[in-house]
Each structure stands twice: as C-alpha cells, then as structure tokens.
Structure 1
Amino acid sequence: MHAVRLHAFGPAENLSYESVPRPVPAPGQVRIAVAAAGVHLLDTALRRGVQGPPAPLPELPTVPGREVAGTVDAVGPDTDTGWLGQTVVTHLGFAPGGYAEYAVADAARLHPVPDGLDPATAVAMIGTGRTTLGILQFAELGPGSVALIPAAAGGIGTLLVQYAKHAGATVVALAGGPAKTARATANGADLALDYTAPDWADTLRAHHPDGATVLFDSVGGSVARTALGLLRDGARHLVFGWSGGPLDLTDAEQAGLDARGITTQFVLGPAMLQRAGGEDPLRLLETRALAEAATGRLRPALQRYPLAEAAAAHHDLETRATTGKVVLEP
C-alpha cells in the first residue's frame, strides 16, 4: 500500500509518499481501507517536532494522521466480525497512522458512518466536529447573543457560524481576505469582516455599538487583543487556540477586563471533558457531532487533497491558504 511517512522532524517537504506493508490488526482492532484522512493543525506541529499538548512526539519514522474513515476490510483476533464491510469513522487518539491507504484502529472507538454522510464529512466531524461541540458547551447562545468568531472560514469557525445561527444568535465573522469573508457570508454570518483591513474594528463598532457577548478565540495575538475591546460588559472570552501568537495582556489590561466582568476561559482538555461528562466524554461528543451532520444542522467545509499531496496540504494549512477542514483522500 501507499502511505505518507515522516523520517525526520522539520518542514512539510519532509513528508514522503512511499510504498509500505499493509498493517495487520491486533486483538481488538480492525483494519480500515481509508477513504478519507483528516489533517489537523496539531499534525503540523508534531511534524516540526513541537511537543503537544496534548499529543506526545511520535517515534520516527511515523505515518501521521489521527482521523480516518473508510470500510473495514479485516479484523484482528477476538474482534467482532460484524464490523467487516461496514463504513466507519474513528479518531485514532495518540496512535497515528491515518495518512495511508490502510490503517488499524481499536474496534471500541469505531462509529458507523451515518446514512447520507460521505467519508470526508464524517472525518471532519469526528475530530473538528467533536471539538466544536465541546467548545459550544461553554457558550449560552440564543436570540440576543452576538457571537464574534475569528478564523470563521476555518474548520471549527465554519461550524461555529452555523451553530450560532441555528441558535438565533447574531454572528460577526472575522476572516483573512475577501475570499474567506465571502465564504463566511455564504455560510450565514450576519457580518463578515476582513481582519487584515485596518478599519475592521471601527466597522464592527458601527454595526454593534453595544459589543459582542461572546468571543470564540482560536487565534490570539493582535486580532484577539482588538476583539477583546469589542466585547460588552459581562461577555465571555472562550479560548481554544493561538494560531496568531500568544495573547500577552498587561496587568492593567487584564484588570480592565476584570472590572467589566469579561471572563476568559480555556475550553479544551480537562475542562471540555468535565463539562461533557459521562464515562467516555470524547465518544459522547463524537456521537453528537456525527448526529448534527446527519441531520444537516452542521455542514463542514472541506478542502480535499490527494493522499500523495500531504506535504502541500500541510504547507497550505500552516500558511492559512486553506478553508474549512483539510482532508486527504487516497
């Protein structure tokens, strides 16, 4: 089979498309003929040799990729043979191997792909979708809410815009460049602003002088710093990334936010799992995400690449040249 392998940490060009033996499922595992594999920003960090959180650095050489969908073509010993021939989707956790024509996965982590969903959509929901639903646990959206969403044309941002609109909120989308703001508008945003334009904050104030009620912050940096000044008193600042760099507020700036009752919360990791509850909170969020897509309430945006072009997919993702969820297709 063909797979994408990494032999040395470094730039995207270090990803090579090679012929390798097919993996053999161990007890409790299945082998999946991969139809779609998700590419995550964390994958690019691990490729560079940057340790999580939450994922540890892999041993080299490695086949990256932690989200796959496809058809079960073999099962390991002591594994339910009923999975054979089923179209499934799974998150591989900290065990990579998704950038390949075949991948092995624990049977306990499989989900049947709901009717009407193609594998690429299912892959988007098993990772990006579950994270989105986890973030939304901390937002009380409804009529009267004004949601400010940077990176609104990205994988999570696309789903946040859709969910907020379904909840009756007013959505202000931020994206880089006119093509991405146009996508956010087409996705349902009430106002889409180019955060690379010097006057975007003034435009937002003119449309919403009272400010936004919640900031979904995956970018940090100067965009988040400006956005915090556009929140109304008592607003929520939900943090789940810092693609634009850290948000280093001065003590005076933090004191000003505190005085206005603006709360900041990092919503990934233990906080998300605790809020989801149950014996297996990740699986619960995955199930919810797939159900949202099956009903059509959430529709992930996809940018597809052939498996052999994984290096290009990484490069484009790192340089913000992609829109939506990046997916590799063998």
Structure 2
Amino acid sequence: MLVVVAPEPGGPEQLQVAERPVPEPGPGEVLVRVVAAGVNRADLLQRQGHYPPPRGASEVLGLECAGYVAGLGHASVSSPAEQPSSWRIGDPCLALLAGGGYAQFVSVPAGQLLTVPEGVDLVTATGLVEVAATVVSNFDAAAVRPGEVVLIHGGAGGIGSMAIQYAKALGAVVAATAGSPGKLDYCRSIGADLAVSYRDDWVGAVRDLSHGRGADVILDVIGAKYLEQHVRLLATGGRLVVIGLQGGTKATLDLGRLLGIRGSVLATTLRSRPIDQKAAICRRVEEVIWPLVAEGAIVSAPQTRFTLQQVVEAHRHLESGDNLGKVVLTIDTA
C-alpha cells in the first residue's frame, strides 16, 4: 500500500510517498480502507520533528481518516470482548488516529471508529473527526455554560470553525479572531458574535463584548505568546484551555491575578490519550455533535482537497496561512 512518511525532519519537501505492507488488525482492531485523510497542524509539527508519534503508533502521518471497514481483528483468548463485533466488512466509517491516516489502509482500535453523520458524504466527513473530538473534549473539560463568553483563536480554521458552532449550540456568546477580512466574514457567517483581527485590539474588543467582565472560556491554540493577555482577560471563574503552542511554550504566569479571579489554566492533548479515553471521546462526539450536524446547526468547514501524491502541496498550503477551513487528502485505493 502507499503511505506518506517524513524520514528526516524539515520542510514539506521531506514528505515521501512510500510502499508499506498492509497492516494486520490485532485484537480489538479494525482495518480501514482509507478514502480520505485530514491534514492538521499536528502533522506539520510531526514533519518538522517537533511532535513524534506516541510509543507504538505508526510513523505514517495522519490523525483522522474516512473509509470502509476492510478487516476485523480476532478476539484474543484472554479477552474475547475485544472482538469489534459491531462493525462489518464494507461499513463506511470515520476514525480518530494516533497516526497512520496518510495511507491506503490503517488499523484502528475499534473504539476509535465513528459512524458517519447523517447527510454528510464520506470525504467531507473526514474533516469533522479530529476537530469535533478536540472541541467536545475541551469544552466538556471547561464546562462551557449558556450565556458565557467564549474566545476562540483561529476561528476560520478547522478547530475554530467547529468551536464557534458548538459554542453557539451550547448557548455561549462567541468571540473569534482571524487574520483577514474574508476569514472574519466567515467566522460571522457561522455564528460568531464578534470577529476581530488578531492584529487589532482583540483584548479590548472582547472586554467590550462582555461589558467589561472578560472571557469565561478561552480556547487557546497560541500558548506562550498570549498567556499574559489571556490571564488578564479572564473573567472571575474563567478557564483558559491551552490546546496548541503556535506562539511558544514558555511564558510568565501571574499567579496573583489567577488567584484573584479564581481562574484556572487547563492544558490538554488528544493524540497521546489512552485508547479508552479516546473511545469515550468518540462516543461523546456521536452523542452531541453528530445530531447537530444532521440538523444543520453545525456545518462542515470549507475544504481544500489534494490527492495523496500531492501531499507536499497540501502541507505548503496549510503552512501558508491562506487556508480556510480544512485541508483533506483524497486517497485512491483501487
């Protein structure tokens, strides 16, 4: 089968399409014939050498995919419950992965497979998996409540577009940042109450939106660069949820301010979680996100599609900052 790997860290030119054996699904696993895979910023970091796969995960890039069940692992003698009996050969499915999505086939723990939301074609649904799992797990951790002000950076990206829509579905007041007029218009079109350029005074804009109270929840993909501003912006009881480090890893934290507002800082990752936790998140996505997708309260972000053989161009496009929504690789398994 064809896969994409990055034998040496570096730029997009390091990506190579290579041949690998089709994996054998182990106990409790399902083999998926992949038709599309999402391209995420985590993939760029892995290619650059900054985000290695968890121990035991495939070195092949890709954290989400869509396809069809092509094989079922056999139950072990010690644990017959591992047999993924709810899936059948030929079933369409989505998968949350620790790696391996940029490939014609991937073996996945059965609990990390998801059904396809009603009314969405398989390739489009590819772009919903990782963003839905990220947003749901972090909004659950932050306990987002109706009426709260939620600030979302990168609102026109995959995670940002999902977060805006899910926050609105939860009854929150949503502020989003983005980098161009077109992206700001997009954020407003999917429900953002405030869309402001990150080059402008977004802190002041959020304060105005909240009538001086500040943000109750901040979904932070930036990290160190914005830490001081975020802590100052938090409302009493506010929660800063760090899920990305685009702006660095180290900064000074004003604990006095945090104590004074009874605030909290959460930092989470999805890729390295244990299988049972990922399975629980996938069930949560099916429970709360897929119905919203089916009824049109959450719409899929725009997609820019490339073939597997165009993976270098796909990474360059995402890295450029020009992308709106999701980047997806389509994969021919014929």
- TM-score range, shorter-chain basis? 0.7 to 0.9
Q: What 5-or-longer segments of structure 1 have no aligned partner?
A: 274-278
CA distance in 2, matches of 1:57, 1:316: 30
Query: C-alpha displacement at 1:269, in angstroms?
Result: 5.9
Query: C-alpha displacement at 1:30, in angstroms?
Result: 4.3
Query: C-alpha displacement at 1:109, in angstroms?
Result: 3.9
Query: Which residue number in structure 1 is paired with residue 246 of structure 2?
Result: 243
Pair 1:137 & 2:140 matched: yes
CA distance in 1, matches of 2:309, 2:272: 37
CA distance in 1, matches of 2:56, 2:273: 23
Preserved contact between residue 206 and residue 215 of structure 2 (Cα < 8 Å): no
Preserved contact between residue 42 and residue 51 of structure 2 (Cα < 8 Å): no
Query: Secondary structure in 1 aligned to 2:303?
Result: strand
Preserved contact between residue 134 and residue 270 of structure 2 (Cα < 8 Å): no
1:3-152 matches, within 5 Å, as 3-18=3-18, 20=19, 23-28=22-27, 29-52=29-52, 55-56=54-55, 62-75=59-72, 83-93=88-98, 96-107=99-110, 109-152=112-155
TM-score with structure 1 setting the length: 0.82
CA distance in 2, matches of 1:258, 1:322: 39
1:137-176 matches, within 5 Å, as 137-176=140-179
Could you give the per-residue CA deviations for residues 93-140 of structure 1, whole angstroms, max 9, x where no partner exists? Answer: 3xx332123333344543333442322344333322112111011233
Query: Which residue number in structure 2 is paired with residue 320 of structure 1?
Result: 321
Query: Secondary structure in 1 aligned to 2:34?
Result: strand
TM-score with structure 2 setting the length: 0.81
Q: 1:315 to 1:142 in 2, by over 3 A?
A: same
Preserved contact between residue 61 and residue 101 of structure 2 (Cα < 8 Å): yes
CA distance in 2, matches of 1:231, 1:106: 38
Preserved contact between residue 125 and residue 286 of structure 1 (Cα < 8 Å): no
Query: C-alpha displacement at 1:302, in angstroms?
Result: 4.2
Query: C-alpha displacement at 1:143, in angstroms?
Result: 3.6
Query: Which residue number in structure 2 is paired with residue 219 of structure 1?
Result: 222
Residues paired across the two proteins, number: 316
CA distance in 1, matches of 2:280, 2:84: 22
1:187-202 matches, within 5 Å, as 187-197=190-200, 199-202=201-204
Query: C-alpha displacement at 1:85, in angstroms?
Result: 1.4
Moved more, 181-190 or 65-74: 65-74
Query: Which residue number in structure 1 is paired with residue 279 of structure 2?
Result: 283
Query: C-alpha displacement at 1:286, in angstroms?
Result: 0.8
Preserved contact between residue 125 and residue 289 of structure 1 (Cα < 8 Å): no
Q: 1:55 to 1:27 in 2, by over 3 A?
A: closer
Q: What 5-or-longer segments of structure 2 have no aligned partner?
A: 76-82
Could you give the per-residue CA deviations for residues 251-290 of structure 1, whole angstroms, max 9, x where no partner exists? Answer: xx332232232222224469988xxxxx923212112213
CA distance in 2, matches of 1:283, 1:132: 15
Moved more, 228-237 or 74-83: 74-83
Q: 1:235 to 1:86 in 2, by over 3 A?
A: same
Query: Over aligned residues, Cα RMSD in angstroms?
Result: 3.1
Query: Which residue number in structure 2 is paired with residue 276 of structure 1?
Result: none
Q: 1:244 to 1:300 in 2, by over 3 A?
A: farther
